Amino acid sequence: ARAESQEGLVVVKVFAIHDPSLPLETYKNHLEDVRKKLSSAVNCIPYQKIILTDKAGLIIREYVKYSLYDRLSTRPFLTNIEKRWITFQILYALHQCHKVGVCHGDIKLENITVTSWNWVLLVDFASFKPTFIPVDNPADYSYFFDTSR
């Protein structure tokens, strides 16, 4: 969800807590570690605030208006040199992550944002998503990876 803060617009992702025995403090510590590691990465926006309550976990990051998906389908279309510049920045963002030992976990067009001056920012780091999904429970796939929402 998009929300407004004192500093401007933010994205708030909400994780409803159905099972209070989940070790959410571990995930919170991991996300805070990722934030610290990426503090000097110019092409990455990790989550800036993580809040745990009894009923939900909230992760908050800066809002950027356009995803790469949006930008690729919006006029004026990108020129070849702009596409190359964006590609270079994506690769450099990955270099910045891997240099400090951070895995993104969910790279897709919607998680690569582009500013009005074609500056690329990698967002929504999700190394907390499961690596394996049970074959007999497709609900986990829909919950963590469904892009139709």
Where in the sequence numbering do the catalytic residues fall?
A: 106
Question: 33 by DSSP, 3-state: which?
Answer: helix
Token match 């991991």: residue? 30
115-126 core/surface letters (b: 16 or more CB in 10 A; e: else): eeeeebbbbbbb
Q: How many angstroms from the chain centroid is the CA of residue 97?
A: 13
Dist CA 74 CA 77 (whole Å): 6
